[in-house]
Structure 1
Amino acid sequence: MADLAPPVRPVPASERWLAAYVGLIVLFLALPVLIVVPLAFSSDVSLTFPPRGVSLRWFSNIWARPEFLSAFGLSAAVAVVATAISMVAGVLAAIAFVRHAFPGRDALLMLFMTPLVFPAIVLAAALALVMTPLGLLRSFWGLALAHVVLTLPYILRTAVATLTEIDRSYAEAAHTLGADRWQAFRHVTLPMLRPGLLAGATFALIISFDEFTVSMFLVGPGVMTLPLEMYNYSEFTLDPTLAAISTVLLVLTSIAILVIEKLVGLGKQFGG
């Protein structure tokens, strides 16, 4: 007698509604990409959708304008430097908050998180006032340090959350086997911290590279980030060049994600 196939369970109406709702949210989030990418290949001289022709002239326009390349390099350098400084400071601060108890610990941790909720315009003005007497206004390092203030909370929060889940007995076992504090941290604690650090660094890089409000108060001649350069360009010219830049950034971001997935397994790091 042939085996009977298991009955097909009907999909509840609630699950169908939930799937439709999630699909609409995904479509809404992807809609800007579905519009911007075709505009980058438009032959029109203005931003009109749908495009009436196909052309690569706007990608050539990027290379023809060195200010875009210079701004991209500055934004990338500031993002990398700010993230690196934030990672070192964030890990050290996370160890202090998680491994040690001291008066005012919770209040101090909340103070580190204030850039997440502080009005950006007020924070930008305050940073400009601080940078001016230090001679760091309109300089690379002034901009990088300002971005550290913005990116540190992301790395610190993820590092604290990850470190809280790490059992201290692993490091104690390493000490028992002869490892000193640095060796135990490097070979035991740090590898376990990698998921939190990777998540925090990803957020930090994105936040720093896309930062607009704070950077607007700190940039100047020769020190201009890509978002501000794009804004300045759009004040006088509104053509698909901006869509072409956005498309290039989208491709570069996708390549970076694929490389991270290949090297360290991004899905595993985020619990996928």
Structure 2
Amino acid sequence: MNVIVDTTAGNGHGARRIAHLFMPRRLIALGQWAVTLALCAFLIVPVVMSVMAGLTVNYFRGVSSGLTVRWLVEVWTQYHASVFLSLEVAAATLVVTLITGVPAGYALARSKTRAARFVEELLVLPIALPGLASALALIVVYGGFTAFRMSLWFIVAGHVVFTLPFMVRAVAAVAASVDLRTLEEGAASLGATFLERFRTVVLPNLRPGILAGALAVVTLSIGEFNLTWMLHTPDTKTLPVGLADTYASLRIEIGSAYTIVFFVMTMPLLVAMQWLGVDATGQRALRRKRG
């Protein structure tokens, strides 16, 4: 005798049970997407509105008043010196941080002593302090040197104090992840001097951290306002300080057009950091290189 078992009802119940289990996960995923999109809109919409304000004839009338590049031309005519000044400060800051930060990061990574950890904490201290406090300290100590105080190098000094930790930490993070000691010992056994080892062994292996630190230093230097506002003079007004002045004393269209100029300078750097996969510690660039 053949026995036929009908499993249709059981299969249907199982399918409903599986669907019931997956439903909360779908709701959670949808909720996460909704929150993410809402946050993106909250952050991006004001930026878009600011950009549009710099391209409209009249901000209060909106796009209906027409589009124009008049405000961009006016900003460039009045403030192009601030643009080039910011680039000069960023370039000088980068050179100084490369010369001092790369050897410092390498030395801190090689040393395992408590003194090295103490020095590393001291280097990171300016990040924890407000920019105004760091600027005030520089003015108190070096403000008496009039020529230095009125020069562009005073702002560069402040930017180096603020950005040097990013270079040191980026280089130190990569140096700690690579067995440099073994590589250097191998090069030394072949007769390479310290300078030859540093140039041919150390620097190529530290390249991801150096690139990460360089991008971070330039980006932070161009956008730094608090410290620069305290240190600048009428002859050393950088891009962020000029941006604050335009919003405080001129039409909102000019201030928004100035914002567009600021975006044009900083966005390529931010995109480069994302495209190259680097961050302030240099770990993403290191993983990409190994991959």
Aligned to 1:39: 53
Matched, 1:154 2:154: no
In structure 2, relative to structure 1, the CA distance for the partners of 1:226 and 1:252 (3 Å cut) is closer
C-alpha distance in structure 2 between counterparts of 1:194 and 1:206, whole Å: 18
Aligned to 1:80: 91
Deviation string 1:18-53 (CA, Å, 9 cap, x unpaired) is: 233333333333223221221221111xx4474332
Query: Root-mean-square deviation (CA), in Å?
Result: 2.7
Between structures 1 and 2, the one with greater helix share: 2
Larger radius of gyration: 2
More off after superposition, 19-28 vs 219-228: 19-28
Q: Is this contact kept in 2: 1:35–1:49, CA < 8 A?
A: no
TM-score, normalised via structure 2 length: 0.79
SS for the counterpart of 1:155 is: helix
Return 5+ residue gaps in structure 2 as ranges.
1-21, 278-283
In structure 2, relative to structure 1, the CA distance for the partners of 1:101 and 1:255 (3 Å cut) is closer
In structure 2, relative to structure 1, the CA distance for the partners of 1:220 and 1:27 (3 Å cut) is same
Return 5+ residue gaps in structure 1 as ranges.
1-8
Aligned to 2:3: none
Deviation for aligned residue 1:227: 1.4
Aligned length: 259
In structure 2, relative to structure 1, the CA distance for the partners of 1:252 and 1:121 (3 Å cut) is closer
C-alpha distance in structure 1 between counterparts of 2:228 and 2:40, whole Å: 31
1:62 to 75, 79, 82: 75
Deviation string 1:112-138 (CA, Å, 9 cap, x unpaired) is: 111111122222111111221233212
Q: Is this contact kept in 2: 1:151–1:204, CA < 8 A?
A: yes
1:210 to 213, 220, 223: 223
Aligned to 1:3: none
In structure 2, relative to structure 1, the CA distance for the partners of 1:60 and 1:38 (3 Å cut) is same
1:266 to 273, 276, 279: 276
Q: Which amino acid aligns with 1:95?
A: Y
Matched, 1:134 2:150: no
Q: Which amino acid aligns with 1:18?
A: Q
C-alpha distance in structure 1 between counterparts of 2:223 and 2:269, whole Å: 16
Deviation string 1:36-90 (CA, Å, 9 cap, x unpaired) is: 221221111xx4474332111111212331xx11111111111111122112211
C-alpha distance in structure 2 between counterparts of 1:116 and 1:55, whole Å: 41
